[in-house]
């Protein structure tokens, strides 16, 4: 379930030296399972709530608060550890499992919140990444983590 280490030279070569077909599409060789899709997760959680007559509790505000609570639980797992290495090589299997559960809770509430707000989350995410690319042109910001407002000719943020 955790990232596998892949020593790809692509990860270390500067972007300008790489062809588009060579672009790595994952972090250290790690990828997600193809399924379930976000819409399948939405449907699974919808059914979970219906079977328990919990729709009445899943108002947008309640879901938001529940999601933030779960984000807090994720943060709790990281607190006091100092910097954490990619792939969590120093974590116990128990803590890694715990993290996977808490991150899943966040996603479940996020997807449910998006459903209740009628936000088409996968489509909205694609659109947002498109906006991010416009706001942070690779040639302008490569290797810098400055916010777009710190650049001389900032792109307009339309979100």
Ligand X SMILES: Nc1ccn([C@H]2C[C@H](O)[C@@H](COP(=O)(O)OP(=O)(O)OP(=O)(O)O)O2)c(=O)n1
Least Å distance, CB 108 to ligand X, is 4
Per rule CB under 6 A, is residue 77 in the interface with ligand X?
no
Nearest to 79 by CA among 62, 63, 102: 102
Chain positions 10 to 69 lying near ligand X, rule: CB under 6 A, are 49, 54, 57
Single out the residue of 29, 71, 99, 105 in contact with ligand X (rule: CB under 6 A).
Answer: 105
Cα–Cα distance measured from residue 133 to residue 111, given in angstroms and rounded to the nearest whole number: 24
Q: Give the start-end residues of each E strand in the chain.
A: none
Least Å distance, CB 95 to ligand X, is 13
* Max CA pair span of the chain: 56
Q: Closest CB to ligand X among 7 and 79?
A: 79
Q: Which position has the token pair 């416009």?
A: 134
Q: Closest CB to ligand X among 93 and 150?
A: 93
Cα–Cα distance measured from residue 133 to residue 125, given in angstroms and rounded to the nearest whole number: 12
Per rule CB under 6 A, is residue 106 in the interface with ligand X?
no
The encoded tokens of residue 119 equal: 């936000």
CA dihedral (97, 101, 106, 107) positive or negative: positive
Least Å distance, CB 58 to ligand X, is 7
Per rule CB under 6 A, is residue 108 in the interface with ligand X?
yes
Q: Closest CB to ligand X among 32 and 139?
A: 32
> Binders of ligand X: how many residues, by CB under 6 A?
6
Q: Are 95 and 36 in contact (CB under 8 A)?
A: no
Per CB under 6 A, residues contacting ligand X are 49, 54, 57, 73, 105, 108
């Amino acid at each position: 379930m955790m990232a596998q280490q892949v020593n790809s030279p692509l990860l270390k070569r500067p972007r300008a030296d790489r062809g588009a077909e060579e672009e790595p599409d994952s972090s250290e060789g790690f990828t997600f399972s193809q399924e379930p899709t976000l819409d399948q997760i939405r449907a699974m959680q919808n059914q979970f709530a219906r079977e328990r007559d919990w729709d009445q509790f899943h108002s947008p505000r309640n879901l938001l608060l529940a999601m933030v609570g779960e984000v807090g639980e994720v943060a709790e797992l990281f607190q006091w550890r100092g910097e954490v290495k990619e792939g969590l090589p120093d974590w116990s299997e128990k803590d890694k499992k715990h993290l996977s559960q808490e991150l899943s809770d966040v996603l479940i509430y996020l997807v449910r919140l998006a459903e209740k707000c009628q936000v088409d989350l996968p489509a909205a995410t694609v659109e947002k990444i498109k906006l991010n690319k416009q706001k942070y042109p690779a040639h302008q910001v490569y290797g810098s983590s400055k916010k777009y407002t710190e650049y001389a000719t900032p792109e307009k943020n339309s979100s």
